[in-house]
Amino acid sequence: MINILFTNFCILVTFLYVSGLLSRQYVTGFDSPSRSVKLCGGVLFGIYGIILMYYSFPIDPRFFADLRHLAIIVIASYLGWLPSLIAGLLMAVGRVLLFGMTGYSAVAGAGMLVIGMICGLISLARWDRLTKMMTMSIASMLVLFFVIASNIPDRDKVFSVFTQHLIISLLATLVIYMLTEYIHTSNKLFLQLKKYAETDYLTSLNNLRQFEQLLSERFLEAQHFSERLGVLMIDIDHFKKINDTYGHAAGDAVLQQLSKVLKDNARSFDEVSRNGGEEFSVLVPEATIAETTALAERIRAAVERHAFTLDDGTKLHITISIGVAVHPDTIRSREARQLMEQADQELYRAKNNGRNRVCSAPEIHDYMLS
């Protein structure tokens, strides 16, 4: 019995490691996971439990021992009642599918469903995670005690099996808690570092490194699928004067508010970045030079109308200059850098022509893209 339960524990640890890698790749918010994440988590850990059942062993012709309930405990502790219920339901169905539809299978399956419900309820308590997991483990074993007792008439055997199972379950729960907390903390730190590496600290927009990465990726996609990609290079007019007159804190406030204006007036799938200082950029996929220029003009006008409020209540009005280039409408570039450089040249032209304007590169009229 102990050998099989240890094997169950090792299998579950492997599952947790794989789940940790998946959550790092696909889960964007650990503290407030989406409903789809909860649904997928419930299904995944339900499958884990079914696999653990496959490696169970018969204590009696009517009862099989394993640690499947730990899969429910883990998912309930981290994702709440919904995935706990889903996992319990899947394990109940899996019990019948693996071992056939008998009265004993029905009792064992019902036990897993009850465990899913109980762990889901405990997950709602405002306790620390270790207390929740240990309470869930004890509650699950109490349910399993009644399942064992209903299937095995020998009471001495029931108590002997239950005692060993309970001790191993509690020890495994403690070790799994330490492992899952390590994985959980590591993934949160990984996401934080990833965010810091890709995001501008002041505006929460993409930073220069992320802009260059996105530009390269989107440019390759545009080339591969024969699509358009536009670039807006944006610069605040006379930004140094704002810093000199009102201070750097005022300049930071302007940058933060400008980032919101840019996001609000760009399309939902456009990618806005702060490239450094007072320079911003927008990647505009799937738009002609005329459409991209119209978008740039809309952004410019929105900034001109917007009243920027400083910490002391002072209101400012600023203007921006924008350079526009579109592949392949204005440049048949082979590299993303050439497209960005053309947009930069148009930005400088806007600056030299009086600022507060949009300048677009001339369209190549002998090139048509449907």
124: its two tokens: 């709602």
The length of the chain in residues reads 370
For residue 262, give every residue at least 6 positions away whose Cβ sits within 8 Å of its Cβ, in sequence order, or none.
205, 234, 272, 280, 282, 299, 303
109: its two tokens: 């399956």
Catalytic amino acids?
Answer: 278
Closest CA to 15 of 53, 50, 48, 55: 48
Please give the single-letter amino acid code of residue 82: L
Which contacts (CB < 8 Å, 24+ apart) does range 303-309 have? 303/258, 303/261, 303/262, 304/356, 306/257, 306/261, 308/253, 308/254, 308/257, 308/258, 309/253, 309/257
Other C-beta atoms within 10 Å of 250: how many?
A: 18
319: its two tokens: 């203007």
For residue 251, give every residue at least 6 positions away whose Cβ sits within 8 Å of its Cβ, in sequence order, or none.
239, 242, 243
